[in-house]
Amino acid sequence: MAGNSSILLELMPVPRRTAVERFCAVFADFWALTKPEINFLVLVTTFTGFYLGSPAQIKGAQLWLLTQTLLGTLLVAGGAGALNQYIERGFDARMKRTARRPIPRGSIAPASALRFGVLLALAGVIDLALAVNGLAALLAVATLVGYLGLYTPLKRKTALCTLAGTIPGAMPPLIGWAAASGNLRYPAWLLFFTLFLWQFPHFMAIAWMYQGDYSRGGYRVLPHYKADQLMFWQTLLPSAALVPLTVSQLMVARAAPVYIVMASILGAGFFCCSALFAVRKSKSAARRTLMASIVYLPLIFFVLLLATH
């Protein structure tokens, strides 16, 4: 009976997906190419840079400018994500964490992903250049070049790739500030360095959690020799430096004491999680640090928004 049942199941026609289901599946695959989980933080930090750099209230023409800035930056970030997955498609196929991405899975052809990524990136740069200003567009191009031309290949060559990757990764608030004001005054660079420092413990947590996976993929995000020492210093020092950096921003802006206290608590909490991870060197501690980093960044930028404008 069991054998007959299996034969009947094989002979039964496989239900065909409707046009709507096929469209949704294709949309989901191309959406995954853009790395939407990263782009949420890109939008948060770009908005913060724009809001703090805006010389006037965000309404009317300034609101339109903000919309175009977020749209252009989102398109560039999405294009960078798609092009990164195109470049790394062979390496992603070796890793459990990334083997189910659209290109390694075979649901999107590499050539289609390449065209999609180029189209998004070009559309974003053109939108920023025409609807915003040349400085914002130039910063977006620098972000693309740094991410795809420097960080992406260095991941397979040296553990110092994290340092290279934090520079394009910290560009969104500069793009937002430049879009709103047309310049890059020192408060914009404080936002840049906040995001710059945050990335070290964030990426070290990911690298530690997936050490074996990265090795199978041919990535050298951690060195084969004394990996724990590199992780220790790249986690501990940046997370410690974030506390005085964010507090000093609020003190320079003469923010109310409540915001300084909030920033101190957020920074101390993130530092504690990072310090425990650096000392214990466990995957569970790395996972807590990763979650803490995801919570910390939008909250600290929200405090800066509330307190300094």
Please tell me whether residues 196 and 157 are part of one structural domain. no
Q: Does residue 229 sit in the same domain as residue 252?
A: yes
Determine the Cα–Cα distance for residues 115 and 93; give it in Å rounded to an integer.
20
Kindly give, in sequence order, each residue whose CB lies less than 8 Å from that of residue 258, ignoring residues fewer than 6 positions away: none
Q: What pLDDT, on a 0 to 100 scale, did the predictor assign at position 2? A: 46
Residues 239 and 106: their CA atoms lie apart, in Å, by 39
**Are 276 and 141 found together in one domain?**
no
- Residue 4 placed within a domain: no
* Same-domain check for residues 35 and 172: yes
Domain C-terminal end among 146, 162, 182: 182
Q: Helix 257-280 to helix 227-252 angle, to the nearest 10 degrees?
A: 180
* Domain boundary residue, one of 182, 211, 236: 182
Residues 86 and 175 in one domain: yes
pLDDT recorded at residue 160: 84
How far is residue 232 CA from its own chain's centroid?
22
254 and 282 fall within a common domain: yes
Place of tokens 């060195």: 223
- Provide the 3-class DSSP secondary structure of residue 156: coil
What is the span of the domain harbouring residue 52?
19-182
Q: Mind listing the pLDDT tens digit of every residue in the chain (309 residues)?
A: 444 555 544 555 556 678 777 788 888 888 999 998 889 999 999 999 999 998 877 877 889 999 999 999 999 999 999 999 999 998 888 888 888 899 999 899 999 999 999 999 999 999 999 999 999 999 999 999 999 999 999 988 888 888 889 999 999 999 999 999 999 988 899 999 999 999 999 999 999 999 888 888 888 888 777 788 888 899 999 999 999 999 988 887 788 889 999 999 999 999 999 999 999 999 999 999 999 999 999 999 999 988 876
Report field, pTM of the whole predicted structure over 0.85: yes
Q: What angle do CA 262, 265, 268 make, to 5 degrees?
A: 145
Instruction: Report CA-CA distances (Å) from 115 to 51, 103, 108, 261.
Output: 33, 13, 11, 48
Written as six digits, the tokens of 243 are 């506390």
Residue 9 lies inside a defined structural domain of this protein: no
Residue 3 maps to a domain: no
Q: Which helix (H) or strand (E) holds 160?
A: none
- Kindly report the backbone phi and psi dihedral angles of residue 76, in degrees, each rounded to the nearest multiple of 5, phi listed first: -65, -45
CATH number of the domain enclosing 170 = 1.10.357.140
Measuring CA to CA, which residue among 206, 234, 227 is closest to residue 98?
206
176 and 191 belong to one structural domain: no
Asked if 25 and 168 sit in the same domain, the reply is: yes
Residues 50, 190: Cα–Cα separation, whole Å? 14
* Judgement on whether residues 201 and 89 belong to the same structural domain of the protein: no
Query: What does the pLDDT read at residue 9?
Result: 47
128 and 67 within one domain: yes
Structure tokens at 251: 């003190």
Domain count, the chain: 2
Rounded CA separation 182/185 (Å) = 10
Token output for 207:
């690298």
What is the model's pLDDT at position 156?
Answer: 87
**Domain match, 199 and 144 both:** no
Same-domain pairing of 224 and 156: no
Cα angle 86-92-95, degrees, rounded to a multiple of 5: 175
> What H or E segment, with its residue span, contains residue 229?
helix 227-252
Residue that finishes a domain, picked among 149, 182, 215: 182
